[in-house]
Amino acid sequence: MKRKVIVGLSGGVDSSVAAYLLIQQGYEVEGLFMRNWDSSANNDILGNQEIDNDVCPQEQDYLDSLEVANKLGIKLHRIDFVQEYWEYVFEYFIKEYKKGRTPNPDILCNKYIKFDKFLNHAINELKADYIAMGHYAGVRFNEKTKQYEMIRAVDTNKDQTYFLCQLTQNQLSKTLFPLQSLEKPEIRKIAAEQGLITADKKDSTGICFIGEREFTKFLQNYISNQPGDIVDIKTNEVVGKHIGAMYYTIGQRKGLNLGGMKEPYYVAAKDIDKKIIYVCPASDESYLLSNSAIVTEINWSLDLKEYMDNVDEFECTAKFRYRQPDVKVRLNKIKDNEYKVSYDAIVKAVTPGQEAVFYLNDICLGGGIIDIVE
């Protein structure tokens, strides 16, 4: 009997080709389209360039997914996770911004929606053996350690293991990533050869399942303006005004509106209570640099004891933001799922609220939230 796979068809080229490849590999394939955001119900007005479109982008994505499914001869299901996305992803996202931190909604979406709500619906309701996504990543079973390992994609520029760092052994055991060994040009070529409507479709950008937004205006839908001073961290001189410190992230340069300055300035620190943004000049980025951080709420995607002689203190590599080159790090356990992470290389703009993701060669070990930067 064929093994049944439910593919998350999103209306993009990657998930379209993932479905095609699984059919070629002999699986029984069906698609499932998720709708996770409702601009009208969620008051998504400010910063939304698409609010007045005749067809909203999500509906167009569904129509594209339907055409791909018809072309491939597979059934397409549709499900609404708008409420779940709001409760499990977006409320946390806004709460963290109010604290002046910078969360990663893509990681939350993978953890709570794609590989939880979607996975459970596919397995329990649609009677699937596996789910599959168009992510650039891979899963393999290590016979020696008896662990499912999430591994990097061959296309290092597109590798998405950073965003998948919260997955568990159970989730990995039920997930297929057909694109692991392919690069983007090959995927578009396959889509074109198969006559799929998504072959030349632009990659989606912006916030996971929400899309491109004028970000500061978008946040104003949910967080009211709290104006304050922009202060030079070196001289303590007020150099400008802002409309809300929570709208800015560490290392940000654009959007500060500091006209007439001799050089660009970066956000170096924030004081939410005093409504102050501290900035530093580009010629002195020392205020953006760090050599250690406290990382909390770490999810280890596998059992570290199978890979480390000492799980309380070990070396590996880490990324502190997507597409950043790996940095060699040393981890010292503070308590369960909380480590001090030290790095010899001085790293720029490590930001509280974002994710530190850990690797052992090509294996993604897991990741946690950057809590304090030292």
Flag whether 89 is marked binding: no
Rounded Cα–Cα distance for residues 138 and 179 (Å): 8
Give φ, ψ of 5 to 5 degrees.
-125, 130
Flag whether 134 is marked binding: yes
Flag whether 15 is marked binding: yes
- CA nearest 130: which of 172, 169, 164? 172
The verdict on whether 208 is a catalytic residue reads: yes
Rounded Cα–Cα distance for residues 227 and 225 (Å): 6
- Sign of the torsion angle spanned by Cα atoms 250, 254, 256, 262: positive
Q: Give buried/exposed letters for 276-311 (b at 16+ CB in 10 A, else e).
A: bbbbbbeeeeebbebebbbbbebbbbbebeebbeee
Flag whether 255 is marked binding: no
Flag whether 34 is marked binding: yes
Flag whether 159 is marked binding: no
Flag whether 26 is marked binding: no
Which residue is catalytic, options 208, 280, 316, 364?
A: 208
- Which amino acid, one-letter code, is at 119? L
Flag whether 286 is marked binding: no
Flag whether 8 is marked binding: yes
Which residue is catalytic, options 109, 165, 316, 364?
A: 109
Flag whether 228 is marked binding: no
Give φ, ψ of 313 to 5 degrees.
-155, 115
Q: Give buried/exposed letters for 323-348 (b at 16+ CB in 10 A, else e).
A: eeeebebebeeeeeeebbbebeeebb
The verdict on whether 316 is a catalytic residue reads: no
Rounded Cα–Cα distance for residues 244 and 190 (Å): 46
Annotated binding site, which residues? 8-15, 34, 134
Annotated binding site for ATP, which residues? 8-15, 34, 134
User: Which residues participate in catalysis according to the annotation?
Assistant: 109, 208
